[in-house]
């Protein structure tokens, strides 16, 4: 039995706070949206009931308007900033007030597809919640209905300090009345591995604006300080919407087919707006100015996962994928190593993230680029085998970065080694 599988199961058990799982203790002491989605995928391999509970507890914090918030604060914890008193969500349990990449429908579909009749019964219970969250993205983050999903805060993309956001953040003014604050993240992780102070001030300026307008999405879209389109959210939402349709078909919910199909068509059409001819790839773009980011990221590579792009575009993305992998010892980096803004240890400006690798690998396989997919999957497994369940990894050295004993890293490892995760293994852990 692989010792690392035992360790991965242990990490998920130790991060369990009773009904929900924290990404890691101290650095992230609450429930995070897409972390919980991937964690459920890992839990499913050794405790199906607990995997469903992870999803249900996250949905318990869904807003009336359908938004699934990015953080659910079930207790206060001085180890984290900004906590519930900064966001002012005014609901129970208190939450942050932006969302995160919508991986949930895909994960639910995957659990049902691989699972038992019990799993489809569970999916039926939560289907309408998933519909509401997709409708929220389509309406609140694309009120002009052109199929381009906006993101209003880098935290919503989950790729907080990626150079993609330098563009949008350059227009964010830090207001004088912004309250002084003390960051907590840099007491847990080396400063050089986290976003800069200047970036944090801008993150807080956007929160300040949202609070001032009572988190009114319409005002935030029209007047908010930051409005960019993210290939990550766009492609993950498109993929999840396709999986939602599969789920609706399996559950025979005919009344929903048309609406979901229309979302798929819109998002497919809107995705073309992210094609940057100069770079020859899918890139982030500022919605207000139309200006493009000029780097290929691990989110750009999710075009395969969403099955977006014509044959020529796919070939260009395949070539970028190969070129970038050739520049690193471990793929896939969060920013192009040949770009001047590359930083191999700073959070989303270079390091490798397992959840992204997992989605990229899956997409490449589905689009027939098997060699590249296996290369990324092998790198992924090797990173954990050599460096453990870190939050992210150096693409050159393979060394562990950020938090340790990280839930989604453990979950992806379990998913990738799923043939080795048997009831027998679990009983022995």
Q: Which residues bind ligand DGY (CB under 6 A)?
A: 70, 155, 160, 185
The pairing of strands 150-151 and 392-393 is unpaired
Give the helix/strand (H/E) hosting 407: helix 407-416
Phi and psi of 352, rounded to 5°? -95, 135
Q: Which of 122, 113, 107, 86 is nearest to 33 (CA)?
A: 107
Q: Are 62 and 112 in contact (CB under 8 A)?
A: no
Q: Residue 5 CB, nearest distance to ligand DGY (Å)?
A: 27
Ordered alpha helix ranges (H), 251-353: 257-271, 303-306, 311-326
**Which of 101/224 has CB closer to ligand DGY?**
101
Q: How many Cβ atoms sit within 10 Å of the Cβ of residue 275?
A: 21
Q: Residue 95 CB, nearest distance to ligand DGY (Å)?
A: 12
Q: How many Cβ atoms sit within 10 Å of the Cβ of residue 182?
A: 8
In whole angstroms, give the CA distance from residue 331 to residue 323.
Answer: 11
**Which of 193/271 has CB closer to ligand DGY?**
193
Q: Residue 81 CB, nearest distance to ligand DGY (Å)?
A: 8
In whole angstroms, give the CA distance from residue 192 to residue 199.
Answer: 13
Q: Residue 184 CB, nearest distance to ligand DGY (Å)?
A: 9
The residue whose two tokens read 């807003």 is 63
**Which of 44/347 has CB closer to ligand DGY?**
347
Choice among 142, 160, 199, 294 that is catalytic:
160
Q: Which residue is nearest to ligand DGY (CB)?
A: 155
In whole angstroms, give the CA distance from residue 245 to residue 142.
Answer: 20
Give the max Cα distance, the chain: 59
Choice among 35, 230, 391, 394 that is catalytic:
391
Q: Residue 231 CB, nearest distance to ligand DGY (Å)?
A: 18
Q: Please confirm, yes or no, whether 391 is among the known catalytic residues.
A: yes
In whole angstroms, give the CA distance from residue 84 to residue 66.
Answer: 19
Q: Which of 190, 220, 222, 208 is nearest to 27 (CA)?
A: 190
**Which of 28/137 has CB closer to ligand DGY?**
28
Q: Residue 71 CB, nearest distance to ligand DGY (Å)?
A: 6
Q: Are 142 and 270 in contact (CB under 8 A)?
A: yes
**Which of 70/74 has CB closer to ligand DGY?**
70
Q: Please confirm, yes or no, whether 385 is among the known catalytic residues.
A: no
E strands along 219-335, which residues? 228-229, 275-276, 281-282, 285-286
**Which of 29/225 has CB closer to ligand DGY?**
29
Active-site residue list: 160, 391
């Amino acid at each position: 039995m692989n010792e690392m599988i035992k360790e991965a199961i242990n990490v998920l058990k130790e991060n369990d706070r009773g009904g929900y799982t924290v990404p890691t203790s101290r650095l992230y002491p609450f429930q995070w949206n897409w972390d919980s989605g991937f964690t459920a995928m890992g839990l499913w391999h050794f405790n199906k009931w607990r995997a469903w509970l992870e999803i249900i507890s996250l949905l318990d914090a869904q807003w009336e308007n359908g938004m699934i918030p990015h953080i659910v604060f079930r207790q206060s914890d001085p180890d984290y900033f900004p906590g519930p008193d900064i966001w002012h969500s005014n609901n129970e349990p208190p939450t942050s007030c932006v969302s995160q990449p919508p991986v949930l429908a895909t994960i639910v579909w995957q659990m049902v597809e691989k699972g038992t009749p019990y799993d489809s019964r569970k999916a039926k219970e939560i289907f309408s919640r998933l519909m509401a969250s997709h409708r929220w993205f389509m309406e609140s983050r694309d009120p002009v209905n052109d199929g381009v999903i906006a993101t209003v805060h880098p935290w919503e993309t989950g790729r907080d300090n990626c150079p993609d956001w330098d563009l949008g953040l350059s227009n964010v003014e830090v207001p004088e009345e912004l309250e002084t604050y003390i960051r907590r993240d840099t007491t847990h992780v080396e400063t050089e591995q986290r976003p800069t102070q200047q970036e944090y001030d801008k993150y807080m300026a956007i929160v300040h604006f949202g609070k001032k307008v009572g988190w009114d999405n319409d005002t935030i879209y029209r007047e908010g300080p930051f409005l960019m389109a993210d290939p990550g959210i766009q492609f993950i939402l498109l993929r999840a919407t396709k999986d939602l349709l599969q789920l609706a078909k399996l559950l025979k919910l005919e009344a929903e087919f048309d609406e979901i199909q229309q979302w798929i068509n819109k998002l497919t059409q809107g995705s073309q707006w992210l094609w940057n001819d100069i770079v020859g790839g899918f890139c982030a773009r500022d919605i207000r100015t139309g200006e493009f980011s000029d780097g290929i990221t691990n989110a750009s590579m999710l075009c395969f996962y969403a099955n977006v792009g014509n044959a020529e575009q796919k070939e260009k993305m395949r070539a970028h994928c190969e070129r970038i992998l050739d520049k690193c010892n471990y793929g896939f980096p969060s920013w192009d190593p040949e770009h001047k803004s590359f930083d191999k240890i700073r959070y989303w400006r270079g390091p490798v993230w397992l959840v992204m690798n997992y989605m990229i690998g899956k997409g490449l396989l589905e689009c027939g680029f098997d060699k590249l997919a296996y290369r990324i999957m092998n790198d992924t497994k090797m990173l954990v085998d050599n460096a453990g369940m870190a939050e992210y990894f150096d693409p050159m050295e393979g060394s562990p970065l950020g938090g340790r004993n990280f839930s989604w890293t453990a979950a992806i490892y379990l998913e990738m080694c799923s043939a080795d995760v048997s009831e027998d293994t679990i009983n022995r852990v």
